[in-house]
Amino acid sequence: MSAETTDFAKALREAGLRVTQQRMALMSVLMEAADHPNADELLSRARGLDDSMSLATVYRTLSALEEAGLIRKLSLENEPARYEISPAAEHDHLVDVETGEMIELASDEINRLRAELAERLGYEIVSQHTLIRARKLPD
């Protein structure tokens, strides 16, 4: 078992989930994903690791992983939800409205300002996610 596989199994156990082949396969696919795949894309990638995987299994597994806080669901208007491993650091996403490309925006400055604004209003941020829809400027 690789160190990564051991880490996935440990994360699942710590989240109170049984370690199953399907959960391990989806965690592995999400860790390797350079993009933010939707359920159909996850199914086709996960079938390379476990050919018994079905779309129903993918949805059940994604739901359990999300509920356990191991992954994050990114809901977009009029598009299938996309998924990512729960980030070590909070970040936002910019979506190109013409191509659908999703770009991660990590900014300590934005996170600091967000926390300061919430604190000024008497709040502490528990979680956050900003989705920016944008169109590429002409060259």
β-partners of residue 55 are none
| pTM > 0.85 | no
Q: Tokens for 30?
A: 């999400």
Fold type of domain 3-85:
Arc Repressor Mutant, subunit A (1.10.10)
Q: Would you tell me the crossing angle of helices 39-46 and 21-32 to the nearest 10 degrees? A: 110
Fold type of domain 92-134:
Dna Ligase; domain 1 (3.30.1490)
pLDDT at res. 118: 92
Terminal CA-CA length for the chain: 48
Domain extent listing, the chain: 3-85, 92-134
pLDDT (tens digit per residue) in 17-66:
888 888 889 988 998 888 889 999 999 999 988 888 999 999 999 999 99
pLDDT at res. 135: 92
